[in-house]
Amino acid sequence: MSTPTIVTAAMLAIGDELLSGRTKDKNIGHLADVLLMSGIDLKEVRIVADEEEAIIEAVNALRARYDYVFTSGGIGPTHDDITADSISAAFGVPCIHDPDAMSLLGDMYARRGMEFTEARMRMARMPQGSRHIANPVSTAPGFVIGNVYVMAGVPQVFQAMLDAVMPTLHTGARMLSRAVSCPYGEGDIGSPLAAIQKAHPETSIGSYPRFDGQKFSTEIVIRARDEAAIAPAFAAVERMIDDIRRAKEAAGELPRG
Amino acid sequence: MSTPTIVTAAMLAIGDELLSGRTKDKNIGHLADVLLMSGIDLKEVRIVADEEEAIIEAVNALRARYDYVFTSGGIGPTHDDITADSISAAFGVPCIHDPDAMSLLGDMYARRGMEFTEARMRMARMPQGSRHIANPVSTAPGFVIGNVYVMAGVPQVFQAMLDAVMPTLHTGARMLSRAVSCPYGEGDIGSPLAAIQKAHPETSIGSYPRFDGQKFSTEIVIRARDEAAIAPAFAAVERMIDDIRRAKEAAGELPRG
Whether residue A233 sits in one domain with residue A143? no
Q: Is residue B132 part of a domain?
A: yes
Q: Which of B126, B82, B119 is nearest to A187 (CA)?
A: B119
Q: Is B92 exposed, middle or buried (0-12, 13-18, 19+ CB in 10 A)?
A: exposed
Q: Is residue A2 part of a domain?
A: no
Whether residue B208 sits in one domain with residue B124? no
Q: Which of A36, A43, A187 sits opposite B120 (nearest CB)?
A: A187
**A-B Cβ pairs (cutoff 8 Å, strict):** 198
Q: Is residue A24 part of a domain?
A: yes
Q: Is A90 exposed, middle or buried (0-12, 13-18, 19+ CB in 10 A)?
A: buried
Whether residue A185 sits in one domain with residue A156? no
Whether residue B157 sits in one domain with residue B189? no
pLDDT tens per residue across span B7-47: 999 999 999 999 988 888 899 999 999 999 899 999 999 99
pLDDT tens per residue across span B128-181: 999 999 999 999 999 999 999 999 999 999 999 999 999 999 998 888 999 999
Which positions ≥6 away from A53 have C-beta within 8 Å? none
Whether residue A221 sits in one domain with residue A126? no
Find chain A residues with C-beta within 8 A of B33's C-beta: 21
Kindly tell me the number of DSSP H helices and DSSP E strands found in chain B. 9, 11
Cβ of B79 within 8 Å of Cβ of A221? The answer is no
Whether residue B115 sits in one domain with residue B224? no
pLDDT at B1 over 80: no
Rounded to a whole number, what is the distance in Å from the CA of B149 to chain A's nearest CA? 18
Cβ of B118 within 8 Å of Cβ of A190? The answer is yes
Query: What is the model's pLDDT at position B256?
Result: 44
Cβ of A76 within 8 Å of Cβ of B25? The answer is no
Q: Could you give the CA distance from residue A223 to residue B67 in angstroms, rounded to a whole number? A: 37
Q: Could you give the CA distance from residue B243 to residue B239 in angstroms, rounded to a whole number? A: 6
pLDDT tens per residue across span A36-79: 989 999 999 999 999 999 999 999 999 999 999 999 999 999 99
Coil vs helix vs strand at B10: strand
* φ, ψ (nearest 5 deg) of residue B213: 100, -20
Least confident of A4-13, A142-151, B93-102: A4-13
Q: Could you give the CA distance from residue A227 to residue B115 in angstroms, rounded to a whole number? A: 36
Q: Greatest CA span in chain B, whole angstroms?
A: 79
Q: Is residue B222 part of a domain?
A: yes
Q: Could you give the CA distance from residue B21 to residue B14 in angstroms, rounded to a whole number? A: 13
Q: Is residue B192 part of a domain?
A: yes
Whether residue A77 sits in one domain with residue A20? yes
Whether residue B14 sits in one domain with residue B132? yes
Cβ of A190 within 8 Å of Cβ of B48? The answer is no
Residue A183: give its domain's CATH number: 3.30.1370.10
Cβ of A211 within 8 Å of Cβ of B137? The answer is yes
Average predicted confidence (pLDDT) for chain A? 93
* φ, ψ (nearest 5 deg) of residue B139: 70, -55
Q: Is residue B63 part of a domain?
A: yes
> What number is the average pLDDT over the span A1-13?
86
Tell me which chain B residue has its CA closest to the CA of residue A31.
Answer: B21
> What number is the average pLDDT over the span A93-97?
98
**SS3 annotation, A38-76:** HCCEEEEEEEECCCHHHHHHHHHHHHHHCCEEEEECCCC
Query: What is the model's pLDDT at position B53?
Result: 97
Q: Which of B68, B78, B80 is nearest to B16 (CA)?
A: B80
β-pair type (A68-72, A125-127) = unpaired
Tell me which chain A residue has its CA closest to the CA of residue B109.
Answer: A187
pLDDT confidence bin for A18, thresholds 50/70/90: very high
CB A100 within 8 A of CB A130: no
Query: What is the model's pLDDT at position A2?
Result: 60
Whether residue B205 sits in one domain with residue B93? no
pLDDT confidence bin for A213, thresholds 50/70/90: confident
Rounded to a whole number, what is the distance in Å from the CA of A8 to chain B's nearest CA? 12
Q: Name the domain boundary from A168, A193, A218.
A: A168
Whether residue B163 sits in one domain with residue B183? no
Rounded to a whole number, what is the distance in Å from the CA of A195 to chain B's nearest CA? 9
Query: What is the model's pLDDT at position B8?
Result: 97
Question: Is the CB of A186 inside 8 Å of chain B's CB atoms?
Answer: yes
In the stretch 40-69 of chain B, residues with CB closer than 8 A to chain A read 41-50, 54
Question: Is the CB of B181 inside 8 Å of chain A's CB atoms?
Answer: no
Q: Is residue A3 part of a domain?
A: no
Which positions ≥6 away from B51 have C-beta within 8 Å? B82
Question: Is the CB of A244 inside 8 Å of chain B's CB atoms?
Answer: no
Q: In what order do the strands lie in the sheet with A216-224?
A: A176-182, A216-224, A204-211
List the domain range (segments joined by +) for residue A50.
8-168
Whether residue B49 sits in one domain with residue B69? yes
Task: Decide which of A66 and A250 is more confident.
Answer: A66
What is the number of domains present in chain A? 2
pLDDT confidence bin for B232, thresholds 50/70/90: very high
Question: Is the CB of B28 inside 8 Å of chain A's CB atoms?
Answer: yes
Q: Which of B47, B80, B216 sits opposite A207 (nearest CB)?
A: B80
pLDDT tens per residue across span B60-105: 999 999 999 999 999 999 999 999 999 999 999 999 999 999 999 9
ipTM of the prediction: 0.89
Cβ of A47 within 8 Å of Cβ of B48? The answer is no
Q: Is residue A210 part of a domain?
A: yes
Query: What is the model's pLDDT at position A22?
Result: 82
Cβ of A20 within 8 Å of Cβ of B42? The answer is yes
Whether residue A227 sits in one domain with residue A114? no
Question: Is the CB of B178 inside 8 Å of chain A's CB atoms?
Answer: no
Find chain A residues with C-beta within 8 A of B138's C-beta: 211, 216
Q: Name the domain boundary from A168, A190, A218.
A: A168
Q: Could you give the CA distance from residue B135 to residue A74 in angstroms, rounded to a whole number? A: 39
Ranked by mean pLDDT, the top range of A58-62, A109-113, B109-113 is: A58-62
Q: Which of B36, B47, B182 to mutate to test the interface with A (most CBs of A within 10 A)?
A: B47
User: Percent of chain A at pLDDT above 70?
Assistant: 97
CB A22 within 8 A of CB B48: no
Residue B30: give its domain's CATH number: 3.40.980.10
Q: Name the domain boundary from A113, A139, A168.
A: A168
